[in-house]
Amino acid sequence: MLNKFNWAEKKICVTGGAGFLGTHLIRELRSKGAQDIFIPKIEDYDLVESDAIRRMLSDSDPDVIIHLAAHVGGIGANQEKPAEFFYDNLMMGVQLLHQAYERGVEKFVAIGTVCAYPKFTPVPFSEDDLWIGYPEETNAPYGLAKKMLLVQSQAYRDQYGYNSIFLLPVNLYGPGDNFNPRSSHVIPALIRKCVEAKEAGEDHIVVWGDGSPTREFIYVTDAARGIALATEKYNESLPVNLGSGFEISIKDLAEKIARMTGFGGDLVWDTSKPNGQPRRALDTRRAKEKFGFEARVDFDEGLQETIDWYLEHRD
């Protein structure tokens, strides 16, 4: 176990550290005093491959691994490449945790996904309900691949006493998000659609589904702070939700983004496209009880900062 965790004394390896969440997490870790942070680039280490993982661990020699790296995307991307999403995420996670254990890495922080929850989980989602059904079909391969890290984490703690933890962040948003229309999630996708439609003088945008599903979102800096707190203070294998406690329907979200971007056209709902999971909202009590985490950023404030970032950086 890690006692009196001192960031300045730890060598930290953050897979996915150059990505959306990763860049914010690195900033958070540095603010806590972390000095030795290794960020493997996919060009140098393809973490799906066992040899690349071995090389990365040899090069970084970490005390702690925070595993953010993932092959991710929205509903469309998950439907288009379910096998890739399953294989890449499963192989990355399972091999990395195993080699970390073999090498004697002090602590492994696994980042799961809200997609691991069953399709009809009672709201708010309790960590105790992770196994009561099958995930929503459109992203089940991805969700189940990430969920295997929880099984592995608990099994390695039970058999080997290995210190690994498993966190479940809800949908992220914020500055630096992915705005590529082929792979983006709902908030950046809607922001881009509204901005481009406004500039082109179009009278409507098309939105997937019927608008009825609900989602909870956590601002990326809040998620980074939660991961850092758990890394520092949490040493159990019970899964822990990281959320904001704020739930909004896709219809209300789309109308809010249209209003905030100044798009005055109609929202046309394409009901031939999937809605995804009917509702998503997390029970966040465990994170507060175990390591004192609560989200701080107001949703409208975070949304405005995300829109402003996109307008400034899209070129």
Q: Which of 142, 162, 234, 310 is catalytic?
A: 142
Residue 158 burial by Cβ neighbours in a 10 Å radius (0-12, 13-18, 19+): exposed
What letter does residue 135 receive in the DSSP assignment?
Answer: B
DSSP secondary structure, 59-120, as one string: HH--SEEEE-------HHHHHH-HHHHHHHHHHHHHHHHHHHHHHT-SEEEEE--GGGSBTT
CA-to-CA distance for 276 and 76, rounded, in angstroms? 10
Task: Verify whether residue 142 is a known catalytic residue.
Answer: yes
- Dig out the tokens for 168 from the structure: 């479940």
Is the N-terminal amide bond of 124 cis, ω within 30° of 0?
yes
Strand-strand pairing, 171-173 and 11-15: unpaired
Widest pairwise Cα distance in the chain: 62
What is the Cα–Cα distance from 177 to 186, expressed in whole angstroms?
A: 11
Which two three-digit tokens encode residue 221? 């800096």
Q: What share of the chain is helix, strand, coil (3-state, %, to 5)?
A: 45, 15, 35
Query: How far is the C-alpha of 185 from the C-alpha of 26, rounded, in Å?
Result: 22
Give the active site residues.
Answer: 142
